[in-house]
Amino acid sequence: MRVLLTIGRIIIMVITNIGLSIIALFSLLVEKDGRTYFWAGSTWSKLCLKVCGIEVRVRGTENIRQHGAYIFVTNHASMFDIPAVMSVLPRVRIMFKKELSYVPFWGWALRWGHHIMVDRSKGSQAMRSIDRAAEAIKSGGSVILFAEGTRTRDGKLLPFKRGAFTLAAKSGVPIVPITINGSFKILPKASLDIRPSPIELLMDKPIDTSHVANREDEIGLMNRVRAIIERNYKEDIV
């Protein structure tokens, strides 16, 4: 019975993803501000969570200004991390790995839209992505990075990569650590067995980055952010 329910959920998510991705792609032809584009992503995210019976609990929203520019840095444990984040931060730009752009419709919407693709196979391309993200932030936007670079396979926190912290050095805007708790057991990597459970997003206080000037500063900031997320991280929540 649970297998049939999971298949039904996946079919609904795929069909709505295709439809809303097409809307997002067409919106790029007529809108520059991304209003419809981001609406499509947020709507799909909320629908996925509802269809799968997943409640998102948010703590720490009082720590951020509604229209402020931030670099959000978070851990990554499940495919449901992105819908959870997009349901709470509907206009945030996601920095995503190039491989996702090959996914039909959704990947195309990511690639040609307002999110930021990172080609990790080429250092120069990756740095151009950082530069593009810095420009987006300076124009008043916020970005989010999954600092581990990939989903954990065992629920444990992985080493962080420096991209978010290089971006902080270039843009000078605050970093907000976000800890995602409870998502790993819903859908671990390499699994298609959806097990509904709450997800908690814990937003920490913004960290000033105006002092970040070199590689040592970036590494120090990276270690500080990882320590915060590690302290708050729980594989399971009640």
160 confidence band (pLDDT: 50, 70, 90): very high
Q: pLDDT of 43-91, one tens digit each?
A: 999 999 999 999 999 999 999 988 889 999 999 999 999 999 999 999 9
**Does some domain include residue 189?**
yes
**Does some domain include residue 237?**
no
**Does some domain include residue 110?**
yes
To which residue do tokens 């594989």 refer?
235
Q: pLDDT of 93-150, one tens digit each?
A: 998 888 999 999 999 999 999 998 888 676 667 778 888 888 878 777 899 999 998 8
**Does some domain include residue 201?**
yes
**Residue 92 CA to chain centroid, in angstroms?**
8
**Does some domain include residue 165?**
yes
What's the CA gap between 86 and 46, in Å, rounded? 8
Number of helices followed by number of strands (H, E) in the chain: 7, 7
**Does some domain include residue 115?**
yes
Q: What CATH number has the domain bearing residue 52?
A: 3.40.1130.10
Return the number of other C-beta atoms located less than 10 Å from residue 140's C-beta: 9
What's the predicted TM-score (pTM) here?
Answer: 0.90
Q: pLDDT of 210-231, one tens digit each?
A: 889 889 999 999 999 999 999 9
**Does some domain include residue 238?**
no
Query: For the chain, how many structural domains are there in total?
Result: 1
First to last CA, the chain: 25
Q: What residues make up the domain containing 74?
A: 2-232
Instruction: Quote the strand ranges of the chain, DSSP E.
Output: 56-59, 71-74, 93-97, 116-118, 143-146, 175-181, 199-203
**Does some domain include residue 191?**
yes
